[in-house]
Amino acid sequence: MSNSTRRTFMVQTGLGLAALGSMELVLSACAQPTMGTVSGEEANRVLIQMGAVPKDGAPAKGVLKPTTPLSSGPFFRPGAPFRGKLSLPGEPGTTFVLSGRVWALDTKRPLPGTVLDFWNVDMNGKYSDGVTDFRNRGRLVSSETGYYELESIRPIPYRTNPGESPEYWRCAHFHLVAVCPGYKSLVTEIHFVGDVHKSDSMYRPENAIAPEKHTVNGASFESGVFDIVLERDSASS
């Protein structure tokens, strides 16, 4: 990028941001608003589109059941970054694209604006600390059609009592917290069909996804779909 092009780029992207100290960012007086908007159609093209990406707010087909809750465990950390890619470039493991929709049990309609907080272990069976290291943690907001999509690595089973007997293994899982105004917050886990540790007492078949394998442009990854159904919070109405 030439110097003139670089200057133009910085002006056009409003990089009149000036850092004050190490903790604070303020907008400089010469900053300009970012021009242009992205239409819904253009936004949809940005999605990876693993399958039938919903484009409307039509009611759910079939019967909805509230998603089975599970405890959050000891490794939830508040304040994960908002992003669709939870793992770092080069993170060891199988790249995994998780997607789905958030639904309201009462209206059978999609729930936009739901904050979804995900976290999962790395290939050592460890969680990032969620303070200085947010690997495999992230928050997303469901779209106008209740849709969400993230990329992480496929979590592996992990042992909770190394060195002790008998061994206790957790089945592989994504953790999830879903929060939507007017609806009961949900804490749960997403499991995998055929997990070698499905004897784990926490394993819930109704929360298990069936991964699919893909190869695109020589890159292999897996995907899974998990819909989330929230119940109306009568106390908030």
Residue nearest Fe ion, Cβ-based: 73
Which part of the chain contacts Fe ion (CB under 5 A), choosing from 33-41, 68-76, 103-111, 143-151? 68-76
Closest CA to 135 of 182, 90, 197, 167: 90
Which part of the chain contacts Fe ion (CB under 5 A), choosing from 43-51, 54-62, 73-81, 110-118? 73-81
Question: By rule CB under 5 A, what count of residues binds Fe ion?
Answer: 1
Whether the CB-CB separation of 216 and 200 falls below 8 Å is answered with no
What minimum distance in Å lies between the beta carbon of 73 and Fe ion? Answer: 5
Q: How far apart are CA 173 and CA 131, in angstroms?
A: 21
3-state helix, strand and coil shares in percent for the chain, rounded to the nearest 5: 10, 30, 60
What minimum distance in Å lies between the beta carbon of 113 and Fe ion? Answer: 26
What minimum distance in Å lies between the beta carbon of 155 and Fe ion? Answer: 8
Q: Residue 200: CB partners within 8 Å, gap ≥ 6?
A: 157, 169, 170, 171
What minimum distance in Å lies between the beta carbon of 185 and Fe ion? Answer: 18
Which amino acid type is present at position 37?
A: T
Residue 190 to residues 51, 88, 166, 211, Cα–Cα distance (Å): 19, 21, 25, 12
The burial class, CB within 10 Å (0-12 / 13-18 / 19+), for 166 is exposed
**Between 14 and 73, CB nearer to Fe ion:** 73
Closest CA to 182 of 227, 235, 228, 141: 235
**Between 149 and 189, CB nearer to Fe ion:** 189
What minimum distance in Å lies between the beta carbon of 158 and Fe ion? Answer: 7
Which part of the chain contacts Fe ion (CB under 5 A), choosing from 57-65, 70-78, 135-143, 226-234? 70-78
Residue 166: asked if its preceding bond is cis (omega within 30°), the reply is yes
**Between 37 and 201, CB nearer to Fe ion:** 201
Q: Residue 140: CB partners within 8 Å, gap ≥ 6?
A: 82, 83, 84, 115, 116, 118, 148, 149, 150
What minimum distance in Å lies between the beta carbon of 154 and Fe ion? Answer: 14
**Between 91 and 144, CB nearer to Fe ion:** 91
Which part of the chain contacts Fe ion (CB under 5 A), choosing from 72-80, 132-140, 144-152, 224-232? 72-80
Q: Contacts with Fe ion in 198-227 (CB under 5 A)?
A: none
**Between 115 and 202, CB nearer to Fe ion:** 202
Residues engaged in binding Fe ion (CB under 5 A)? 73
